[in-house]
Amino acid sequence: MALREIVLYGNPALRIKARTVDEIDDDLRQLVQDMVETMDAAEGIGLAAPQVAESLALCVVNNGLIDEDAEPQAYINPEIIHADGEIEVEEGCLSIPDVREDVRRPETIKVRYLDIDGKQQEEECGGMLARVLQHEIDHLNGVLFVDRISSIKRQLLQKRLKLIATGG
Catalytic residues: 136
CB-nearer residue toward Ni ion: 24 or 32: 32
CA distance 118 to 96: 31
CB of 133 to Ni ion, least distance (A): 12
**Which stretch, 5-13, 21-29, 71-79, 91-99, contacts Ni ion (CB under 5 A)?**
91-99
CB of 138 to Ni ion, least distance (A): 8
CA nearest to 101, candidates 59, 142, 63, 150: 150
CA distance 42 to 140: 20
State the distance between the two ends of the chain, measured CA to CA, in whole angstroms.
29
Give percent helix, percent strand, percent coil of the chain, each to the nearest 5.
Answer: 35, 30, 35
The contact pattern for Ni ion, residues 34-73, with x = CB under 5 A and - = no contact, is ----------------------------------------
Q: Residue 163 carries which DSSP code? A: H
Give me the residue whose beta carbon is nearest to Ni ion: 93
**Which stretch, 10-18, 21-29, 90-98, 158-166, contacts Ni ion (CB under 5 A)?**
90-98
Strand ranges (E), the chain: 46-48, 58-61, 73-84, 87-93, 96-105, 108-114, 120-125
How many residues line the site for Ni ion (CB under 5 A)? 1
CB of 103 to Ni ion, least distance (A): 11
14, 24, 93, 129: which one binds Ni ion (CB under 5 A): 93
Give the footprint of Ni ion on this chain (CB under 5 A). 93
